Amino acid sequence: MVELSELDWIVQKSAELLSDKVKDAPLTDHDIELAFDMFARPRLEHLAESLGSEQERRQAHDFIMMKLQERTKQLNAEHWQRQE
């Protein structure tokens, strides 16, 4: 499987999109999908050869989505729970 540092970098850069968006409104699942599609998906496709099997590709996808969901919850808590 691809090194976790590569996947962590993809998560970090994708989460930057979420960090900008959370200032306008609470983040939703749609925002997560958008960040994934705009940044993570092209990089995963670029890494496809390194990932090898379909199972490894699925694991990388799931890892990134899980991390983006965690970051979304954190960002929403930081920006919106205080203001309600």
- Amino acid 3: pLDDT: 67
CA distance 60 to 36: 12
Contact between 7 and 64 under an 8 Å Cβ cutoff? The reply is yes
Give SS3 for 52: coil
Per-residue model confidence as pLDDT tens digits over 17-62: 999 999 999 999 999 999 999 999 999 888 887 877 889 889 999 9
Per-residue model confidence as pLDDT tens digits over 71-84: 999 999 999 986 54
- Amino acid 53: pLDDT: 86
- Amino acid 2: pLDDT: 59
